[in-house]
Amino acid sequence: MPDIAGLRDELADIELQDDRALLKLKSRDFYWYSPILKKQLDGKTAELIARPRTEDEVLRILTACRARRVPVTVRGGGTGNYGQCVPLEGGVLLDMTAMAAPIAIVDGVVEVEAGAKMIDLDLWCRDQGWELKLWPSTKRTATIGGFVAGGGAGVGGISHGTMRERGNFHGARVATMQDPPRILDLEGQAANPVNRTYGTTGVLTRIKVPLTPAQAWRDVAIVFDDFTRASRFALELTHSDGIPKKMCAVFDSQLPPFFKGLADAVPAGKALVLCAITPAGMTALKELAAEHGGRVVAEQDAVAAERDPELTPFYEYCWNHTTLQVLKKDRGVTYLQCRMPFEDTLAALEAVRIPFRDEIWMHMECVRFGGRITMSALPVVRWTSAERIYEIIAAFEKHGIGIANPHVLTIEEGSNYRRVPGDQLGFKQNVDPLGLLNPGKMRDFTPPETAAA
Ligand SMILES: Cc1cc2nc3c(=O)[nH]c(=O)nc-3n(C[C@H](O)[C@H](O)[C@H](O)COP(=O)(O)OP(=O)(O)OC[C@H]3O[C@@H](n4cnc5c(N)ncnc54)[C@H](O)[C@@H]3O)c2cc1C
């Protein structure tokens, strides 16, 4: 049995919580999107929550946990989709949300404490003329540390790629589980071992990300007679380098009725495109939409919408929010995460959309990967069984569609096209030789040192 009472005594001057309801709540994320993960993860809880305010407190917590062989699972906003912050072996949940201060912007690179909410960080940067290149659709609840360690794709991907694109993640300060725990300052490619490793390769205490000049984004909703036309328009918009854009998503006609706040604007049976464009791009956007038979049905100031808790910025219908919007009304669905081929993207899309149309509702996000344009698909899938999900995955893969499986727990199984180059396993062996950081999430890892206290 881990010595939690001893930990509590040693760390008494740090914020600790062990209320059972809170432990249960904070040990969860959005893994329940997947009925497969729900079965595996329901009931897994930490034994103590520690909420450090400084790097020194992080190091003291790690030192005390290391001495007692207590596992440590880091948590930001707890919005991950695959149980990334669910502690599989109990122990301490390290809540990073008290370390949330922006530090400085130097040469267009912001340095910030890792527990900062992305919306707060973006607004802070925006006041100085900058904005984040990328954010998840959970921008209003997720932390920057959680985005680097557990996400990395989303709004902005249409122009900037993902967090794995060279240059999008500048560096981090990382607390290790070595003997004794210490702080590493990693920059450039040297920071790859902590990029999307679910907190298994260190605790991110500070993050540096490059910014882009702030824009007055406008959310625009455009309807089309059918999904094919909507998709053609979306890809042409993505290729239109003269129209500055932050996102462009396409939804088949089954989905808009689930979008509270937009549903009334979208006539039944129409496909929908949601995009964010600069005011200077609006004329060109509307001309392009009209050429494809599209009609603008709603528009709003995107930045004002995200500042107002009563309003929904359109990105909260996009990315992994699409599935959530459906789940609010229909708990019988789940989802997939796919990357379409770069060549003949629309042919591959139609080859899977049409035969599965009764059980899969198509949702696409236009993206860049390595300078090339394609679409990520996050379709909503009617849940029947695990076997059926794997049949669908196999059918998609036959058409050259890559799958980042959201129904698995480990980095290796779930990542597919989402890994950065570098020896993440070797790095973990060095910084966490006892395997105490989020154990069970890096499949190929075996601790080089024995865990006996
Ligand atoms: C509705 C919905 C929409 C979403 N949309 C997107 C999207 O558009 N793009 C996207 O990429 N993801 C998306 N996600 C997933 C998730 O919201 C994001 O990845 C988000 O950035 C995670 O941040 P968080 O602070 O909530 O991290 P958490 O869920 O708290 O943690 C995520 C992982 O990172 C680790 N971690 C957290 N903080 C640290 C730290 N300081 N040091 C080391 N490890 C740490 C955790 O241990 C965990 O493994 C979505 C999820 C939901 C439920």
pLDDT in tens, 296-305: 999 999 999 9
Strands 380-382, 333-335: parallel, antiparallel or unpaired by DSSP?
antiparallel
Residue 127 CB-half CA count within 13 A: 7
Question: Which atom of ligand 1 is nearest the CA belonging to 80?
Answer: 29
Closest atom of ligand 1 to 198 CA is 49
Q: What atom in ligand 1 is closest to the CA of residue 199?
A: 44
CA–CA dist 332, 356 (Å, integer): 16
Q: Which of 144, 147, 366 to mutate to test the pocket of ligand 1 (most atoms within 8 A of CB)?
A: 147
CA of 406 to the centre of ligand 1 (A): 13
Using most ligand atoms within 8 A of CB, pick from 138, 321, 409, 437 the residue to mutate for ligand 1.
138
Evaluate if pTM is beyond 0.95: yes
Q: Which of 303, 305, 304, 285 is nearest to 295 (CA)?
A: 285
Beta carbon of 376 within 6 Å of any ligand 1 atom:
no
For residue 197 and ligand 1, the question of a CB distance below 6 A is answered with no
**pLDDT, tens only, 36-93:** 999 999 999 999 999 999 999 999 999 999 999 999 999 999 999 999 999 999 999 9
User: According to the model, what pLDDT value does residue 1 have?
Assistant: 76
Beta strands 92-95; 48-51: pairing state: parallel
Q: Please, where in the chain does CATH 3.40.462.40 lie?
A: 218-411
- Whether 201 lines ligand 1, by a CB cut-off of 6 Å, is no
Q: Which stretches of the chain drop beneath a pLDDT of 50? A: none
What pLDDT, on the 0 to 100 scale, is given for residue 237?
Answer: 98
Does the Cβ of 150 fall within 6 Å of ligand 1?
yes
The CATH 3.30.465.10 portion of the chain extends over 102-213
Q: What is the fold of 218-411?
A: Vanillyl-alcohol Oxidase; Chain A, domain 3 (3.40.462)
Element (H, E) at 6: helix 4-10
Taking the centre of ligand 1 as the mean of its atom positions, its distance from the CA of residue 142, in whole angstroms, is 6
Is 3.30.465.10 the CATH number for 102-213? yes
